[in-house]
């Protein structure tokens, strides 16, 4: 049996992505609003976080690495870092680290751009140039990596993984204890291009800005009450799941993707100073 063809985006050296997102990455909470304005103007993806400043110990390298993982993910085309200027994680240094993996990366510094309006204007220009310079080619995906979030146990995980393998889909997984949002970040760092989430019975379905998340319902009262928010019902077969993964990998939007629901959780171990 020949493997199904999936068309993705050739993101040079970083594999093939199932999406071609431009990431506007605030290096600190202070850049949140500037990042949102740029992202809204150019149709890019951004997110709010609180981690680029006031961090100490292992969190400094941990957050740096997390930002590098996000920016070099195969679903990301180009990256614009929005730095304030006086924060712990400096825009120019982060840019150099990311550029080793994703050369389509630039940064702006609010304090060196004459303030908010100057930074927004400069950011929009740079983001547009980055997007036009980098034209991903449509490529066949040799190996689609699907991250499975097992926030809840399912009856036969082995059968599911085998059924997906038959379609040429490689699976990686994250286990129960951490909850979906943390699992999504873990699966992102392992470069999953699509996430399949078996969220806990008492948790809502949720998404991840850079990776399409397919949510499979359980039979719990909460999930029954909001069944329409799930991509697949609790009785979905492995074949149905595999078929949807292939559709999503080729561009079909998941429900959480359309809702843009879900905030990104970064790994932290130490309190802010």
Q: Which stretch binds other proteins (CB under 8 A): 2-10, 70-78, 98-106, 173-181?
A: 173-181
Given 22, 72, 90, 167, the residue binding other proteins (CB under 8 A): 90
CB of 142 to other proteins, least distance (A): 33
CA pair distance 244, 266, nearest whole angstrom: 28
198: nearest Cα among 213, 184, 217: 217
Given 3, 88, 240, 252, the residue binding other proteins (CB under 8 A): 88
Residue 248 binding other proteins, by CB under 8 A = no
Tell me the per-residue interface mask from 18 to 57 with other proteins, x by CB under 8 A, - otherwise. -----------xx-xxx-------------xxx--xx-xx
CB distance 27 to 84 below 8 Å? yes
Tell me the per-residue interface mask from 107 to 126 with other proteins, x by CB under 8 A, - otherwise. ---xx--xxxx---------
- Measured over the CA atoms of residue 146, residue 147, residue 151 and residue 153, the dihedral's sign is positive
CB distance 52 to 82 below 8 Å? no
Beta strand segments in 122-161, E: 137-140, 144-149
CA pair distance 126, 134, nearest whole angstrom: 12
Structure tokens at 23: 């990431």
Q: Phi and psi of 8, rounded to 5°?
A: -130, -165
Q: Which stretch binds other proteins (CB under 8 A): 4-12, 140-148, 178-186, 237-245?
A: 178-186
Residue 268 binding other proteins, by CB under 8 A = yes
- Measured over the CA atoms of residue 228, residue 234, residue 237 and residue 242, the dihedral's sign is positive
Residue 177 binding other proteins, by CB under 8 A = no
Residue 234 binding other proteins, by CB under 8 A = no
Contact residues: other proteins, CB under 8 A: 29-30, 32-34, 48-50, 53-54, 56-57, 84-88, 90, 110-111, 114-117, 179-181, 202-207, 222, 225-226, 228-229, 259-266, 268-273
């Amino acid at each position: 049996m020949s493997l199904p063809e999936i068309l993705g985006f050739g993101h040079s050296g970083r594999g093939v992505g199932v999406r071609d997102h431009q990431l506007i990455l605030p290096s600190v909470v202070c850049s949140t609003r500037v990042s949102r304005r740029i992202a809204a103007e150019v149709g890019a993806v951004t997110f709010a976080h609180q981690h680029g400043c006031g961090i100490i110990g292992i969190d400094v390298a941990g957050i740096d690495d997390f930002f590098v993982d996000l920016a070099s993910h195969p679903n990301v085309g180009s990256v614009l870092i929005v730095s304030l200027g006086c924060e712990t994680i400096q825009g120019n240094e982060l840019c150099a680290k990311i550029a080793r993996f994703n050369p389509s990366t630039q940064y702006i510094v609010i304090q060196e751009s004459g303030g908010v309006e100057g930074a927004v204007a400069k950011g929009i220009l740079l983001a547009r140039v980055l997007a036009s310079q980098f034209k991903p080619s449509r490529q066949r995906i040799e190996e689609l990596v699907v991250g499975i979030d097992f926030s809840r146990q399912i009856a036969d995980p082995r059968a599911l993984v085998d059924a997906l393998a038959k379609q040429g889909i490689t699976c990686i997984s994250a286990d129960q204890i951490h909850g979906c949002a943390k699992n999504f970040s873990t699966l992102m760092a392992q470069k999953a291009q699509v996430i399949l989430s078996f969220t806990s019975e008492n948790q809502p379905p949720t998404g991840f800005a850079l990776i399409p998340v397919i949510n499979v319902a359980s039979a719990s009262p909460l999930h029954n009450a909001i069944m329409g928010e799930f991509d697949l019902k609790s009785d979905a077969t492995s074949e149905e799941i595999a078929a949807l993964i292939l559709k999503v990998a080729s561009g079909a939007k998941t429900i959480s993707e359309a809702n843009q629901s879900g905030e990104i959780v970064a790994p932290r171990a130490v309190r802010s100073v």
